[in-house]
Every structure is written in structure tokens, then in C-alpha cells.
């Protein structure tokens, strides 16, 4: 029997080009500035910095901007020079960088428990992941000013990636769940929850409405909200559950009895697929040219899934597991 041929270990190692130092706390994220010898960084020391290489060979900040809260993540679009920064206090701040990367102009701010960001340069939409398990699609391109919610995770959304050629959003959660969202559908904005002192279906008083409880001699009920119409309803008038994928609710949520009857089977058709990576994902990267989905986790493992095509019926062809604790170099 012939001896098994063992592949030779690769000895080539990465070459250190330079170091960028100066942050007073953990660097949350960093990105290379295309066509410039520079780096953009956000840090838990509340700073946003643009580092440009000087004639001395060292990197010095051309922009030093202090934020009101520690920075948790960022997304940079080099074509528009738009920088989106997620903060620990649950807000997103947007800036436009000047052509010479020496000035940063504030644009807008949004609220939400931000843990991840990614940008769709074609539709001009910003996606933000949150610690409350949700994803918000912010229409900041000036078309309608809408904010659409996506609910498909059972834990904190750790990272996001967008495939513009197929218009699909890839989101990963702390529980290892990977959700592939079909964004090539006309989604609906979730309604605002209405305020009322009594059920807007049966007129039963809620428990804080003492006057109506006294007048009607009835015990007050707990208030709920229908996720489809936003009306304030009691538990009896909202005893049904339904998924509403076009509103972003891939799981069943509370709806009033009237809305439950109006939702068709076609409207309940899912617009996302769900996969289990079997590790706590902290970062995801999708290579559209090869169809590779790369996830790295807290278990010190990188998993690469190759797909013939990223679509709703995605099938994993193979998984390549690389243990970071071992010295693996490409």
C-alpha cells in the first residue's frame, strides 16, 4: 500500500508594512481608504480618525472627531465618501468626508441599538443591525425617508453583508444564525403604534383607565398592539399570530383578529432563508465573484461556505474550517 502523501506546510508569512498607533482604547473597526495611503478607524475612546501617511512614513490623523459615545462599528462607501458610525448609545451618525480626507461634515443621525452596519450603494440604503435582534433598512437616499424593520433573529445581530448583484442581505446573529434576506421585493413600512385608553376594537378599558373602569364596572385589561395595523388592542381581540414577511416579520407576531383574517397565504410566503453556522459569528464577508461566504467566530474558527449561486434556494457545497490557533497562511 502506497504511503499517504502529506502536503507541505506553507512557510510564507504576512509581511508587516506599518503600524497605526494612537488610540486610547480598543479599536472597534478600521477600513483602508481606496486610492489613498490611509486608514479610517473608530474606537471605544469615542473617536473617529482618518490616518494619512506622511512623508516621514508614519500615519498621523488628518481628521480627529470626538463622538458623544464609544464607537461600536462603521461602514464606509468610497464612491460617495459617506461614513456611517454606530455608537454604543444606540445611534447612527453619518458624515461626508472631503476629497482630500481632511474634513468630515455631519449629515444625519438615527436612533437604534446599533451593533452592525452595511451600505447598499445602488439603492442608497443603509442597513443597521441591533442588539434587540432587529435590522433596520434606512432609506437615506432621499426617495421616501422610510425605515423598514426586519425581524428574523433570536439574538443580537452581530454583522451584516450585502450582495448588490442579487439584492440580498446577509445577517448573522450571536446565536450562530445566518439569515439571507431577499431585498428584491417591495417591502412595507411597519405602522406606528397608536395610543389609546381603551381597546380600539371592543372599547374595553385598559388597566390605567380608572374612570372608564369605574363607569363601566369592568376590570381594566392589558394593552397590546397589532403589528400590521398598529392599533391598541386587548388580548381577546388579538389572540391570533401570523408572520408578515413583507413587513419584515419572518416569525409569527401578534395581530388583531381583523388583520389576521385579511392576511393571505401569499402574503405569508417567506422572503428569507435561515441557516445555522454552529458558531457564534462576529464577522461575515461575502465574495460575490466566487460565491464564498466567510464567517469568523468567537470559537477561533473561520468557516467558508462556497455556493454556486447566492439565492433563496442556496445550498452549501462545502465548508472549509480553519483553526486560527494553528498557523495557517495563504
Ramachandran bin of 298, using left for φ above 0, alpha for ψ from -120 to 50, beta for the remaining angles: alpha
Range 204-233 average pLDDT:
89
CATH 3.30.40.10 positions along the chain are: 189-270
Neighbouring C-beta atoms of residue 255, cutoff 10 Å: 27
| Distances in whole angstroms, Cα of residue 271 to Cα of each of 126, 152, 168, 313, 329 | 19, 10, 10, 11, 38
Q: Which range is least confidently modeled, 26-40, 115-129, 137-151, 246-260?
A: 137-151
pLDDT of 11 > 70? The answer is no
Helical ranges in the chain per DSSP H: 210-216, 257-262
Does 240 or 132 have the greater pLDDT score?
240
Please give the order of strands across the beta sheet that includes 281-287: 281-287, 292-297, 301-306, 318-323
Cβ density class 113-147: b for 16+ within 10 Å, e for less: bbbbbbbbeeebbbbbbbbebbbbbbbbeeeeeeb
The reported pTM is 0.61
Cβ pair 286, 293 in contact under 8 A: yes
* Chain-centroid distance, C-alpha 328: 30
Q: Which range is least confidently modeled, 41-50, 117-126, 220-229?
A: 117-126
Condensed to tens digits (0 to 9), the pLDDT of residues 295-324 reads 888 887 888 876 543 343 333 333 333 343
Condensed to tens digits (0 to 9), the pLDDT of residues 62-80 reads 999 999 888 888 888 888 8
Range 179-189 average pLDDT:
90
Query: What pLDDT is recorded for position 1?
Result: 47
Query: What pLDDT is recorded for position 179?
Result: 93
Residue 220: all three cell numbers together: 381594566
CATH of range 189-270; options 1.20.58.740, 1.10.3720.10, 2.40.30.20, 3.30.40.10:
3.30.40.10
Condensed to tens digits (0 to 9), the pLDDT of residues 84-142 reads 898 887 788 889 999 889 999 988 776 656 788 888 888 888 898 888 888 988 877 65
Cβ pair 150, 135 in contact under 8 A: yes
* Chain-centroid distance, C-alpha 276: 17
| Distances in whole angstroms, Cα of residue 158 to Cα of each of 10, 93, 118 | 32, 19, 12
Does 111 or 45 have the greater pLDDT score?
45
Count how many residues are written for the chain.
330
Query: What pLDDT is recorded for position 21?
Result: 80
Cβ pair 161, 118 in contact under 8 A: yes
Amino acid at each position: 500500500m502506497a504511503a499517504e502523501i502529506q502536503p507541505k506546510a506553507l512557510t510564507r508569512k504576512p509581511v508587516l508594512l506599518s503600524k497605526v498607533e494612537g488610540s486610547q482604547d480598543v479599536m472597534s473597526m478600521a477600513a483602508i481608504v481606496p486610492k489613498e495611503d490611509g486608514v479610517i478607524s473608530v474606537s471605544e475612546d469615542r473617536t473617529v480618525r482618518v490616518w494619512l501617511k506622511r512623508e516621514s512614513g508614519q500615519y498621523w490623523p488628518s481628521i480627529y472627531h470626538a463622538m458623544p459615545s464609544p464607537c461600536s462599528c462603521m461602514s464606509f462607501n468610497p464612491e460617495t465618501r459617506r461614513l456611517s458610525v454606530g455608537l454604543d448609545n444606540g445611534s447612527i451618525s453619518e458624515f461626508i468626508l472631503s476629497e482630500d480626507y481632511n474634513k468630515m461634515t455631519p449629515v444625519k443621525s438615527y436612533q437604534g441599538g446599533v451593533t452592525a452596519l452595511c451600505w447598499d450603494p445602488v439603492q442608497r440604503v443603509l442597513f443597521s443591525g441591533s442588539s434587540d435582534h432587529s435590522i433596520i433598512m434606512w432609506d437615506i437616499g432621499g426617495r421616501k425617508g422610510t425605515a423598514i424593520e426586519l425581524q428574523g433573529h433570536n439574538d443580537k445581530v452581530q454583522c451584516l453583508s450585502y450582495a448588490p448583484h442579487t439584492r440580498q442581505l446577509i445577517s448573522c446573529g450571536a446565536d450562530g444564525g445566518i439569515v439571507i434576506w431577499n431585498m428584491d421585493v417591495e417591502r412595507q413600512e411597519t405602522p406606528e403604534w397608536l395610543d389609546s385608553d381603551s381597546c380600539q376594537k371592543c372599547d374595553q378599558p385598559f388597566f390605567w383607565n380608572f374612570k372608564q373602569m369605574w363607569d363601566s364596572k369592568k376590570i381594566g385589561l392589558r394593552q397590546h398592539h397589532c403589528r400590521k395595523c398598529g392599533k391598541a388592542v386587548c388580548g381577546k381581540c388579538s389572540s391570533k399570530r401570523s408572520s408578515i414577511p413583507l413587513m419584515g416579520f419572518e416569525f409569527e407576531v401578534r395581530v388583531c383578529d381583523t388583520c389576521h383574517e385579511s392576511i393571505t397565504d401569499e402574503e405569508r410566503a417567506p422572503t428569507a432563508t435561515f441557516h445555522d453556522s454552529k458558531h457564534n459569528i462576529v464577522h461575515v464577508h461575502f465574495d460575490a465573484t466566487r460565491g464564498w461566504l466567510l464567517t469568523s467566530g468567537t470559537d477561533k474558527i473561520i468557516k467558508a461556505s462556497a455556493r454556486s449561486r447566492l439565492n433563496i434556494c442556496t445550498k452549501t457545497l462545502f465548508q472549509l474550517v480553519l483553526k486560527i490557533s494553528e498557523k495557517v497562511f495563504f
